[in-house]
A and B are shown apart, each in its own frame.
Chain A
Amino acid sequence: MIEVLKGGILANIQDGGRPGFRNQGVPASGPMDPLALRVANMLLGKPADATGIEIIFGQTQLRFQKAGWVALTGADLGASFDGKPITPGWRFKVEPGQILHFRQPKHGFRAYLAVSGELNTPKVLGSASFDRGSGFQKPLESGQTLDWQPAGDFKAPLYVRVPEAGRLRVLPGPEYQTFDKLAHGIFWHTNWKITADSNRMGYRLSGPSLHRLVGDEMPSQGVVPGTIQVPANGQPIVLGVDAQATGGYPILGVVISADLWQLGQLGPGRHIQFIPTTPQEARLAWQKQCDYLKHLEQYIGAH
């Protein structure tokens, strides 16, 4: 068992999400920083989409009731393990009764905790992922216990360096040309502020207004995480992993897949700058990320 002493702000369970149900109106969900959960699982020799805990800015306290191994990645939320500070990137052993405590965030926004063996939490449509918009699962609540069956053993703790969030590369979207030149300039050169109204479904940004050349209503179409919509108020919204299946606002751009994880490490109050890119660069960046993960897996496997 893992006891949730304090839930903190919206700490929640995530796995690979529930892709495949968009035509039923169901978002894909999954971790906001899929790279971090993947690396945490990798540190414990688990599949990329194994169930873990997404911990968001704010105090969360977990008590482990069994001995086993855990891995922490993603944001540095000032975690301490039985009073000793622990930085993201570590795999370490826990003993019964030990407490993992998150305090003041130092860097990033979401931390991920993977555990050895199985974390058994209820599933909806094949996934344990929390999706507030759809009402699937709930955030962790103080006093709750999670069914944990530790398995496997490792020789020693291990540390891996994880990439840091830096830039969000964006491909122009289907309606890019329906915005005027001034709007294009503003879009690429503004340091957009992430407002407090942001969540896993979408990040609402504030900055100068973006104007369209045409004001026609758009027919609704399928949208994906990373889609940058511009409603009539001219303030962009970047969709997160809980993005609704379809949307009807003009799409100015889309964050490339290789950079999407970084969105999970940017929280309200932080700023975002979009960098224009090309389909070729997007493919190259994805290939690079795949190569990085392969190397990391080999390195971890050798330890």
Chain B
Amino acid sequence: MTLNWSALGDRALVLTLNNNDTLSQRQLHWLAHQLCGLSGVSETVPGMGNLTLILTSPLVDMATLAEHAIAVWAKRPAEASPGKLHKIAVRYKGPDLHQVAEYAGLSEEDVISRHSQAVYEVSFVGFMPGFAYLTGMDKRLAMPRRAEPRLQVPSGAVAIAGQQTGIYPRQVPGGWQIIGYTDQPLFDVEQTPPALLQPGDQIQFEVSRD
């Protein structure tokens, strides 16, 4: 698995994998930990099959830093275990559950069981504080975003967009299909780290009938 790099302006560089799977994504998280705190690096930001290094100044030598990162990558562990497992209770009573079932040609119960049986993994956190991009959703449940995004998606909404699923940590406008809700807090500024779900963590949704 080759790691290439490109400059993102004068203050960041992006390390990109030529292709990506769950193992290499975990290895990228390992790489992020290795490079964190390195001289010249202020932040490491995992993406989907890539890792962005934010530099402390435009005077940092990018090529040397990238070479170092690639050399570290060459020493990555062959096996990389996932992070923490979280079990999150979901009330599958979202306003779009019916449409998701219809689109997939499944019953609502079927959608619920397929969505709650999968084990998801956090690819990266982005979009808003504490929002985890989850991989591992049943392909049958894939559905495009709503044509007309909602002005407010409530905090704790469990939703689907394309082949992704995720939970809204707070109330924001959004176009994902809402299939359920959770009361689990996902972002707490008093905690370290503040996001509950960290890159590499695994998630299982449990059906709550409350």
Contact = CB atoms under 8 A, between A and B. Distances in A.
Interface in B7-24: 7-12, 14, 16, 20
A107 interface: no
A227 B51 CA distance: 16
A220 B45 contact: no
A171 interface: yes
Given A20-B43, A219-B20, A282-B58, A25 B127 contact: yes
Contacts, number: 134
- Residue among A125, A135, A221, A257 facing the most chain B CB atoms (10 A cut-off): A221
B133 interface: yes
Given A20-B43, A21-B194, A227 B9 contact: yes
Nearest to B46: A23
Interface string A128-140: 0000011100000
Contacts of B8: 173-174, 222-224, 227, 251, 254
Contacts of B46: 23, 222
A224 B11 contact: yes
B49 A24 contact: no
A287 B10 CA distance: 12
A219 B17 CA distance: 11
Interface string A206-247: 000000000000011111101100000000000000001111
12 contacts: A25-B125, A25-B128, A133-B128, A174-B14, A220-B124, A222-B14, A224-B54, A246-B47, A246-B126, A257-B9, A282-B9, A287-B59
A157 interface: no
B9 A24 contact: no
A159 interface: no
Nearest to A286: B58
A251 B47 CA distance: 15
Contact of B133 (A173, A220, A258): A220
B100 interface: no
A256 B194 CA distance: 31
B131 to A, nearest CB: 5
Interface residues of A, number: 39
Interface string B90-108: 0000000000000000000
A23 B44 contact: yes
A234 to B, nearest CB: 20
B170 interface: yes
Interface string A251-273: 10011111000000000000000
Contact of B194 (A26, A244, A255): A26
A96 interface: no
B38 to A, nearest CB: 14
B126 A224 contact: no
B45 A22 contact: yes
B45 A222 contact: yes
Contact of A221 (B32, B52, B129): B52
A19 interface: yes
Contact of A256 (B47, B49, B57, B58): B58
B130 interface: yes
A134 B194 CA distance: 13
Contact of B126 (A125, A244, A256, A279): A244
B5 to A, nearest CB: 10
Contacts of A223: 8, 52
